[in-house]
Amino acid sequence: MMMLRPAIVLVLSLLPFLAVADVCEKTFRWTEDPPYTYSATGAPQGVSGISADTVRAVLGMMGCDVSFVEMPWARALAELRIGRVDIVSGAFDTPERREFAHYAAQGSTSPNVLFMRAGDTVNTNILSFEDFLASGLSLGGQIGVNYGPEYAAAIESGVLDDRLVLVPDRTLLWQMLARGRVDAVAASYLTGLMEITRQGYGGQLLNTGIELSSAPAFFIFSKSSVEEEFVSRFNEFHRMFIASEDYKVMVNTHTIDVQRAE
């Protein structure tokens, strides 16, 4: 007799809830941000990744469809504020964002770190972000992204003025780092390792281990378009999903490149 997979058992157990759930569709912002969201041939709507598959599964359990909308981070927050995007993933918890967004209860952690060229990690005596700030070296990052409290404080103080390069696309940042146009790049640990490997910079660009933030990142929901009761229901199904064996298998599948890089 064929055994049901854990996720199927989970969904069957939730059928009474699904039967009464309102039919709905939510828009979810994505961009090329592996392993969380990225384009993939054969994936529904051409989008895959840990966050994409999680929101697809959880909304499906709630009886909702999801529409994927590609856009950069800064625009995504602006669209979320006015309700033209319903859900964004990977958001730090800040008072400013809580003014216009509901936060999911469960976050995930992948620290933001500094990446540098292999030779520079040996030749520079930089052991902390404070050391980096004192070094006078240049830093690359993405427009509108807050990499953590130390980064935000450095922006506020002006210590990075004239040596901070911000671009909308992280692919360009890795090219700039490899060519010596910036001395370091700030990025999520998992995302950085995957993109460096995929773009052929393995061995050239390295994680320094210098953390800018290890705070969890969350799914956030527009207060203009999503009711708080919907977020509470999302939290219930989200907890069930991430406790399932299929979730663990899914995460392992999306992070296989990182495991090989390490």
Q: Do domains 6-108+216-261 and 112-213 have the same CATH topology?
A: yes
pLDDT category, 15, cuts 50, 70, 90? Answer: very low
Domain extents in the chain: 6-108+216-261, 112-213
* Beta bridge pairs of residue 186: 114
Strand-pair partners of 108: 217
Whole-number pLDDT of residue 125? 81
**Is the per-residue pLDDT at 14 higher than 80?**
no
For residues 208-227, average pLDDT = 93
pLDDT for the residue numbered 257: 64
pLDDT greater than 80 at residue 219: yes
Q: How many CB atoms lie within 10 A of CB 251?
A: 15
Quickly list DSSP for 180-207: TSSSEEEEEHHHHHHHHHHTT-BTTEEE
Q: Region 225-237: what's the mean pLDDT?
A: 97
Q: Does domain 112-213 have CATH number 3.40.50.2300?
A: no
Displacement of CA 254 from its chain's centroid (Å)? 13
pLDDT-derived band at 122, boundaries 50, 70, 90: low
Which CATH superfamily, name and number, covers 6-108+216-261?
Periplasmic binding protein-like II (3.40.190.10)
**Pairing outcome for strands 64-70 and 47-48:** unpaired
Contacts of 192 (CB under 8 A, 6+ apart): 113, 115, 185, 207
Residue of 162, 164, 236 lying closest to 14 (CA atoms): 236
Percent of the chain with pLDDT over 70: 88
Strand partners, 101: 222
